[in-house]
């Protein structure tokens, strides 16, 4: 494996990074601080053994606020200093629930981008069926 493909554990960022990566690129684009390490609350379903996550410092308190209000986030990013912070939420949230999440985000005083995973389904012919039967199958997820 070449050095470009090798990874190392970065304690400060609580994640694996490229072996030749400089920790400086993990600094928050808003304030220049290293990420805050947060413990995922119990209501966030994850298959991770390690329930600690790195959150950009400038939005860590905002994310804790969402979690305290029962919101499950899938991804969080402050973006670049000129971009608004963003979150990704699961497809389980209805439009009414998304409106509540947006109102919670307004409480933070920042403008946020909210993205949601959506399941894409389509009808396909069922393999092995001779009568041309079709079935609704999941073909992927997209981030909108």
Quick one: average pLDDT of 85-107?
92
The pTM is what?
A: 0.68
Mean pLDDT of 68-86: 82
pLDDT digits (tens, 9 = 90+) for 53-76: 888 888 999 999 999 999 999 888
- Phi-psi group of 132: left, alpha or beta (phi > 0 → left; psi -120 to 50 → alpha; rest → beta): left
CB 58 within 8 A of CB 52: no
Domain boundaries, the chain: 36-143
Integer-rounded Cα Rg, in Å, for the chain is 19
On average, the pLDDT of the chain sits at 77
């Amino acid at each position: 494996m070449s050095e470009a493909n090798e990874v190392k554990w970065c304690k400060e960022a609580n994640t694996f990074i490229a072996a030749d990566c400089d920790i400086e690129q993990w600094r928050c684009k808003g304030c220049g601080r290293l990420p805050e390490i947060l413990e995922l609350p119990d209501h966030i379903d994850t298959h991770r053994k390690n329930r600690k996550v790195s959150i950009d410092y400038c939005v860590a308190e905002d994310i804790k606020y969402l979690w305290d209000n029962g919101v499950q986030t899938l991804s969080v990013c402050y973006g670049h200093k000129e971009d608004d912070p963003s979150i990704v939420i699961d497809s389980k949230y209805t439009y009414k629930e998304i409106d509540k999440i947006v109102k919670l985000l307004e409480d933070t005083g920042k403008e946020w981008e909210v993205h949601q995973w959506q399941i894409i389904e389509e009808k396909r012919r069922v393999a092995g069926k001779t009568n041309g039967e079709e079935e609704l199958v999941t073909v992927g997820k997209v981030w909108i």
